[in-house]
Amino acid sequence: MSAHESMEQADHAKEAAGENRKIALLIAVIALCLALSEMLGKGAQTETISKNVEASNLWAFFQAKSIRRTVVQTAAEQSKLGLGAATDDAAKAAAQKQIDEWQKTAARYRSEPETGEGTEQLAKRARHAEEERDLATAKYHHFELGSAAFQIAIVLASATIITGILALAWASGLLMLAGIAVTALGYFEPHLLPLH
């Protein structure tokens, strides 16, 4: 091998090393984007689970209050039926007092704004938790799609180093941009694209 050929080969190796450094930098940037997308996805997944549990608990509390209200209302209605048969005024007054108490309790079970634990307030809180769960779920789907784009982009960029086909690096860069766009949509406008 002549000195000229050796120099030419060294220049070619230097050029290839420079290209590989650029591809390695691209892979590092994509890996950073992947890490961010994965972190956002885990946060959204945790939020989804948390809000689902909260909604389930609130609906269970709603059901318990509804059952209590129904029992109290039924007791009041039955006492009303027996009220007409009572002959003693003291017994009638005591029964009416109990009926009034049960009706107040039933009304409190229906609406209790000061504690937020009436069935009306519980239903509203449960629906709000469901909306937050659905929002977190929509975000999660976007972040997962972004993560998939980043992972494929890393594979394509790695293949560029092995094969030397620069078109793979360009495809990797485009996938990275698509991943960034989908992740950003998930963060800012998760309901814009229905992904679930």
> Against a cut of 0.85, is the pTM above it?
no
**pLDDT of the residue at 99:** 92
Instruction: Give the residue extent of every domain in the chain.
Output: 21-188
Mean pLDDT of the chain: 91
Is the pLDDT at 176 greater than 80? The verdict is yes
What pLDDT score does 136 carry?
97
- The percent of residues above 90 in pLDDT, for the chain, comes to 76
3-class DSSP string for the chain: CCHHHHHHHHHHHHHHHHHHHHHHHHHHHHHHHHHHHHHHHHHHHHHHHHHHHHHHHHHHHHHHHHHHHHHHHHHHHHHHHHHCCCCCHHHHHHHHHHHHHHHHHHHHHHCCCCCCCCHHHHHHHHHHHHHHHHHHHHHHHHHHHHHHHHHHHHHHHHHHHHHCCHHHHHHHHHHHHHHHHHHHHHHHCCCCCCCC
Q: Give the pLDDT band (50/70/90) at residue 147.
A: very high
pLDDT in tens, 40-69: 999 999 999 999 999 999 999 999 999 999
Return the number of other C-beta atoms located less than 10 Å from residue 157's C-beta: 27
Q: How confident is residue 17, by pLDDT bands cut at 50, 70 and 90?
A: low
Among 7-16, 28-37, 139-148, the minimum mean pLDDT is found in 7-16
Q: 35 pLDDT exceeds 80?
A: yes
Phi-psi region of 164 (alpha: psi -120 to 50; beta: other; left: phi over 0): left
**Quick one: pLDDT band at residue 14, thresholds 50, 70, 90?**
low
pLDDT 10s digits, 78-137: 988 887 776 788 888 888 999 999 999 999 999 999 999 999 999 999 999 999 999 999
Q: How many helices (H) and strands (E) does the chain have?
A: 4, 0
